[in-house]
Amino acid sequence: MTKKLTLQLDELTCPSCLTKIETAVKNQPGVETVKVLFNAGKVKAQFDDSQIAADQLTQVVSDLGYEVKSSKVTEA
């Protein structure tokens, strides 16, 4: 089933952060779309939860060195 994940990050300091996060999340199995909203400090991803869990996607972003302040999963 397709779900949407929204992550609120601590801070994004440079445009290269955007590319780094989008590439890492997009390369995960089951991820359909990913968009980083630089000025808002948000990551929005649409994914198939039968292939990957929201917690795993959150961990991918954390492993890149970004602090995830909050996360929200909704139906797509």
Containing domain of residue 43, as a range?
2-75
Say if residues 5 and 60 touch (Cβ distance below 8 Å).
no
What's at 68, amino acid-wise? Answer: V
**Could you tell me the maximum CA-CA distance found in the chain, to the nearest angstrom?**
34
Whether 10 shows a pLDDT value over 90: the answer reads no
State yes or no: pLDDT of 12 exceeds 80.
Answer: yes
What is the CATH classification number for the domain harbouring 10? Answer: 3.30.70.100
Band (pLDDT 50/70/90 cuts) for residue 14 is confident
State yes or no: pLDDT of 4 exceeds 90: yes
pLDDT (0 to 100) of residue 54: 97
- With 90 as the cut, is the pLDDT of residue 66 above it? yes
State the total domains in the chain.
1
Question: What's residue 27's pLDDT?
Answer: 98
